[in-house]
Amino acid sequence: MESIAAEKIDALPVSATNSEPV
């Protein structure tokens, strides 16, 4: 479960950096 949470947290900042709500 921790892995999934880590991936989600990583995906959040990545999306914000891309500035693309895809």
What is the reported pLDDT for 14? 60
pTM for the structure as a whole = 0.17
Contact between 21 and 15 under an 8 Å Cβ cutoff? The reply is yes
pLDDT digits (tens, 9 = 90+) for 1-22: 566 665 666 666 665 555 555 5
Residue 6 tokens, joined:
């880590």
Stated as kind and residue range, the H or E segment containing 7 is: helix 2-18
What is the reported pLDDT for 2? 64
What is the reported pLDDT for 20? 58
What is the reported pLDDT for 11? 60
Contact between 5 and 11 under an 8 Å Cβ cutoff? The reply is no
